[in-house]
Amino acid sequence: MYWENMGVKICLLVLISILSLALLAGCGKKPVRGGEEVLATEQIGKSGIGPEGMPGMTEVGIGETEIPGKAMGTAADFGETISEGRTSAPMHPVYFDFDRFNIRDDMKSVMEENALFLLDHPEVMIEIQGNCDERGTNEYNLALGERRARGAQAYLVNLGVNPDRIGTVSFGEERPLDSEQNEDAWAKNRRDDFVAIK
């Protein structure tokens, strides 16, 4: 009887050890592939009013781990010209959906091109400037702009860009590109700019 109980205990210990090792092997750092990784499901502020006037904030994009091979321009005149918004050429800004801070599917190729340029030109330092449209409170939009900038930073880092080369700042709703009050204008103002730092 004693030896039977001892045999069962040993079998259980071996089984637990094997399962523990399997779980530990599966808990390593995994690359993010093919989509968004939810980083937060929180609502900012006590008012319940979301960024740009809507409740809730649900996700932020991180990025793909692979970059397709594309050639980018040179750094000769980098920072001297603007591609769109306030972004330094040859990079491009990234635009966001209303009340979101995830990298949209149609913006992932833009992020990859920006990353390729930065990887090809390690001397370039940038600041990602998060912006919002005018809807919502100033405080909420500042927080949303920060999440947009940090989400883009994380995306670039995930693509291999050194995080020490990327600063972030939020301007919230304070620096609109278009002052009209319609969806076209608001869509232009919901963006991250990638600005060269000299």
- Rounded CA-CA distance 81/129 in Å is 17
Domain ranges of the chain: 31-197
Report whether CATH 3.40.50.2300 matches the domain 31-197: no
- Rounded CA-CA distance 66/108 in Å is 11
**What pLDDT score was predicted for residue 19?**
46
Q: Lowest-confidence range among 45-49, 97-101, 175-179? A: 45-49
Average pLDDT over the chain reads 73
Three-state secondary structure call for residue 126: strand
**Cβ contact 148:192 at 8 Å:** yes
**What pLDDT score was predicted for residue 85?**
79
The per-residue pLDDT for range 154-191, each reduced to its tens digit, is 999 999 999 999 999 999 999 999 999 999 999 999 99
**Cβ contact 83:90 at 8 Å:** yes
The per-residue pLDDT for range 112-136, each reduced to its tens digit, is 999 999 999 999 999 999 999 999 9
